[in-house]
Amino acid sequence: MTAEQVITERDRVTGELGKRSAAELGKLGLFVDAVEIAAPVEALIRANQALASLTAEQARSSTLTQLRSFNYRVQSESTAVQSKMTLILKALHSPPPQS
């Protein structure tokens, strides 16, 4: 699977998860104010897309040195994704996942 295929599949799955998440939350009796959660979700999607793009670029590295040169930026983007997810969990009044 190429990096582009991985990104395309990730985007498809992200969209599907968004649809299913709302339905599953409703089944649990949790109704989220769409306005309250929209901005953090959009920020998470952007951060996740940036991470996926950077990871795909890293995967195309031709040397180990070049591959490792991405490590700091990938870690920074991963941290951004985690922080956006924490904001969403707070908006949903859910505890953050234990790492």
How confident is the model over 59-87, as pLDDT tens digits? 999 999 999 999 999 999 999 999 988 88
CA nearest neighbour of 80 among 49, 56, 38: 49
List all residues 6 or more positions away from 52 whose beta carbon is below 8 Å from its beta carbon.
Answer: 6, 7, 10
**pTM of the entire structure?**
0.60
User: Alpha helix (H) ranges present in 28-69?
Assistant: 34-59, 64-68
| Residue 29's pLDDT band (cuts 50, 70, 90) | low
pLDDT value for 18: 66
Supply 62's token pair.
Answer: 């031709």
User: CA–CA separation, 48 vs 75, rounded Å?
Assistant: 12
User: CA–CA separation, 23 vs 26, rounded Å?
Assistant: 5
